[in-house]
Amino acid sequence: MLSVFESNSTFIWASYAVGLVLIGGAIATAWFKSRNAKAELIRIEARIQDQKRR
C-alpha cells in the first residue's frame, strides 16, 4: 500500500512520520487535557451540590 518512490522515499516518509507524531501528540494532549478539566469541574460541582443538600 505504501508508495515506493523513484527517489528519496526515506526522506518523504520521514517527513510524514514527523507530522504524524507531532500532530497525533497535539490531538492526544488536547483530548486528555479537555477530558481531565471537564471531569474535575463535574467533581467540584457535585461536591458543591452535596454540600448544599447537607
Partner 1 sequence: MFSWFANPHRFVKLSDWLVPACYVLAAVGILWGLWQGLWIVPKDDYQGGDIMRVMFIHVPAAWLAMASYLGMAVMSFVWFIWRHEVADIAAKAIAPLGATWTALCLATGAIWGKPTWGTWWQWDDARMMSVLFMFFLFLGYMALRAAMDTRQKAARAGAILAMVGALNVPLIKFSVDLFTSLHQDASVITAEGPKMAAVYLWPLLISSFGHTLLFAALVMTFMRAEIWTRRAAQLRARLMTGD
The residues of the shown chain that bind partner 1, judged by CB under 8 A, are 3, 5-9, 11-12, 14-16, 18-19, 22-23, 25-27, 29-31, 33-34, 36-38, 40-41, 44-45, 47-48, 51
CB 5 within 8 A of CB 12: yes
Dist. CA 33–CA 11, nearest whole Å: 33
Q: How far is the CB of 53 from partner 1 (least distance, A)?
A: 14
Nearer to partner 1 among residue 7 and residue 53 (C-beta)? 7
Q: How far is the CB of 54 from partner 1 (least distance, A)?
A: 12
User: Per residue in 25-43, is it b (16+ CB within 10 Å) or e — as a string?
Assistant: eeeeeeeeeeeeeeeeeee
